[in-house]
Amino acid sequence: MFQKTLLALTCLMGIQSAWAEKVKETRPTHEVIASAKAEDWRLIPQERLLYLNLDGNRTVVFELAPEFAPKSVEAIQSLAKNQFWDGLEVYRMQDNYVVQFGDANAVHHPDKAKKLPDGHQNPPAEFERPLEGLNVAWLADKDEWSEGVGFMDGFAVAKGEGKVWLTHCYGALGVGRDVAPDSGNGSELYVVTGHAPRYLDRNITLVGRVVYGMTHLSALPRGGMAEGGYAGFYQDPKEYTKVISVKVGTDVPAEQQLALEVMKTDSEVFSAMVETRRNRTGGWFVRQSNYTDVCNIAVPVRKAKS
């Protein structure tokens, strides 16, 4: 049932003219992706990658976005080089919202919190940046949360008032903070695991997104469900998932580095792929949306051919 649509390459019959006008791309998404040429892909340099290794040989890889949050990225890379997270934990998983990792004590028992490395500089709040100087591929579709949305080097972004910012789409990586906007020190990180909480946009610093291993986070048991539990925090330290290490890609042994390529979001093939998301075809769909939400578009990532 249901799933066959995704596989079926049935004929498009009885296309009405109004429909045909809207649909600019009738190939299925996977065919469009398969048509991308070598130059439509960007190899992510290891220095932009952050490897999170969880207990049980589970690896999650993030691409960092220093273009949007340079000081926060620097702070995170510095913490990783100081092995700050090694031995800490995933201490929160709130269903349909976020998973969070770092030092549970920093949240529950600040007096017992792990000391930040000497000389650690708290980054400023980096909620947005000027629009100038960025090569953004803007979508044609409106977005009620902002003045426009698009993609910059694979990152979903929004704009308004001459500024541009990373959006809280599924898989976005951010820096936890306290009440003061600049109170995030970079050590408590969260990842969006539910329906996009776009109301967080411009309220907290996003620093990157998951490019590999998302399901190691999204399928974790939910916390805080017990009576008195709150906001996804695990009630018992036994529920924590142990963080073995967090490393900058260049510090990962060569044989463990992943060569990941992201589809260039300023390419024609990516535009064509977006069209397949705006109007889904292939026989199963009886009605086309002629619209897409920026968070409904998964930017293709693949392992480079070796």
CB 99 within 8 A of CB 217: yes
Q: Of these, 52, 64, 220, 274, which contacts a second copy (CB under 8 A)?
A: 220
| Stretch of 42-50, 60-68, 237-245, 291-299 contacting a second copy, by CB under 8 A | 291-299
Smallest gap from residue 155 Cβ to a second copy (A): 16
CA dihedral (288, 290, 292, 298) positive or negative: positive
What is the residue whose two structure tokens read 């980096």? 126
Task: DSSP for 234-296, please give it.
Answer: -SSGGGPEEEEEEEEGGGS-GGG---EEEE-TTSHHHHHHHHHHHS--SSS-SS--S---GGG
Smallest gap from residue 36 Cβ to a second copy (A): 20
Residue whose CB is less far from a second copy, 115 or 287: 287
Residue whose CB is less far from a second copy, 95 or 268: 95
Residue 57 within binding range of a second copy, rule CB under 8 A: no
| Stretch of 4-12, 60-68, 248-256, 260-268 contacting a second copy, by CB under 8 A | 4-12
Task: DSSP for 2-28, please give it.
Answer: TTHHHH------S--HHHHHH-S--S-
Smallest gap from residue 254 Cβ to a second copy (A): 23
Q: Of these, 293, 299, 300, 301, which contacts a second copy (CB under 8 A)?
A: 293
Interacting positions 226-265 with a second copy (CB under 8 A): 230-231, 233
**Whole-angstrom Cα distance, residue 217 to residue 180?**
28
What is the residue whose two structure tokens read 């130059």? 39
Q: Of these, 25, 153, 188, 275, which contacts a second copy (CB under 8 A)?
A: 188
**Whole-angstrom Cα distance, residue 158 to residue 174?**
16
CB 83 within 8 A of CB 252: no
**Whole-angstrom Cα distance, residue 79 to residue 83?**
6
Residue 20 within binding range of a second copy, rule CB under 8 A: no
Residue 18 within binding range of a second copy, rule CB under 8 A: no
CB 240 within 8 A of CB 232: no
**Whole-angstrom Cα distance, residue 75 to residue 121?**
7
CB 175 within 8 A of CB 70: no
Residue whose CB is less far from a second copy, 46 or 275: 275
Element (H, E) at 77: helix 70-81
Structure tokens at 4: 């066959």
Residues in contact with a second copy, shown as a per-residue x/- string from 64 to 103 under the rule CB under 8 A:
----------------------------x--xx-x-x---
Amino acid (1-letter code) at residue 228:
G
Residue 26 within binding range of a second copy, rule CB under 8 A: no
Beta bridge partners of 245: 53
Q: Of these, 37, 115, 238, 287, which contacts a second copy (CB under 8 A)?
A: 287
Interacting positions 110-169 with a second copy (CB under 8 A): 127, 141-145, 169
Q: Summarize as ranges the residues that interact with a second copy (CB under 8 A).
A: 1-8, 10, 92, 95-96, 98, 100, 106-107, 127, 141-145, 169-170, 176-179, 181, 183-184, 188, 190, 194-199, 201-204, 214-215, 218-222, 225, 230-231, 233, 277, 280, 283-287, 289, 291-293, 295-296, 298
